Amino acid sequence: TLAVAATPTGSTPRLLAGGNDVLRLIRGETVLTLGTTNPLTPVVLATNQLSPFGAVGWTESGDRAVGWRAGRYWTLDVADPEQPQLVAGFVAEKQWSALILDGQQAYAGGFNFLSWLDLSDLAQPKTVTTITNEQVYRSFALAGQYLYAQTQEPAVQIFDVSRMGDFQMVGSLPFDSLSSFQIVSNRLYVFRSQQPALVVYSLDNPLAPERIGALSHWRIMGSGLFHGSFLYARVSSIGGEGGFEVFDVSEPGAIRRVGGNSQPTSALATDGRALYAVTGGGLRTLSLYAEMQAFRPMLPALADGAFRFQVRGIPGTSVQVQRAGDLSGWQDWQSLTFDGD
């Protein structure tokens, strides 16, 4: 079951996987559904205009989706992921700052409250229960019967949600810095504004996560995209938004950088076959990272210490190439078409 969520972020676009061969591109109050049957030429399949008041959040699980902004929300039927159908719009009892779907139910949080919603009937959602406390909830993640909730303290609270309508707080992880967090393959990844920028915990014991690794990196921008053994993390540059770097996280105790792309990127997503990046020029399609086989230079080293190598590809295929002598002074992308030689 797919369970994804994005919070409102002004005009900054967000990109989410929406099922097989489908992406959701969220810009302001608009959600575009993109078809990626041909990854090289994504097409717009549907447009949902939600809030007239600004950027919306989006959460999706199975055949249900909810778009939301502060005290308003909209339910959608995504049984056909290519054509989201708006069911109804509502005024929430409180202003939400975080929301995540879990099948036919959802968890919403905001200033001093946490709510449990029944969305079995998209036309008539019901609030099952609401608890109040002194927290401000910023984001959620799910793992089995547990709800992990980011608060402003900063901390991650752990709730057992195995019984309908019953929030049972069973643990809390305090942090001195917490930008965001994600749960992937029974691991909790905590992104921080201080060093180390990424801390990894095992959830083998979900009530007592154990720290198993960390990564110090000054440019990671507080979140990432996970696919297989790799983390694609957007990074900052001197001018603000940078490209992204790829890290092998298969061994949390020895996380290593294995690749990257310097094109300024504001959002990343994957459908499992390709990587999609939102840039100033639009939506770009890239290959997912794969370990390259070692190659031998076609010519011996030149007198000035430089070297040459040759790349072969399918004749007629056009690609773009970057190169640098010192791995920092990247030149502009250069077009190349394989000619079969």
Per the CB < 8 A criterion, the answer to whether 16 and 75 are in contact is no
Q: What is the mean pLDDT of the chain?
A: 85
Q: Residue 328: pLDDT above 70? A: no
**Cα gap 16→268, rounded to integer Å:** 8
Nearest-5° Cα angle at 95, 93 to 99: 100
**Cα gap 16→33, rounded to integer Å:** 10
Residue 55: CB atoms within 10 A of its CB come to: 21
Closest-CA residue to 286 (of 246, 337, 323): 246
pLDDT at residue 211, rounded to an integer: 96
**Cα gap 284→279, rounded to integer Å:** 7
pLDDT at residue 89, rounded to an integer: 92
Write down how long the chain is: 341
pLDDT at residue 9, rounded to an integer: 44
From 113-127, 144-158, 276-290, the region with the lowest mean pLDDT: 276-290
pLDDT at residue 258, rounded to an integer: 92
Phi, psi of 332 (to 5 degrees): -65, 155
pLDDT at residue 323, rounded to an integer: 63
Give this prediction's pTM: 0.81
SS3 252: helix
Contacts of 123 (CB under 8 A, 6+ apart): 75, 87, 88
pLDDT at residue 325, rounded to an integer: 55
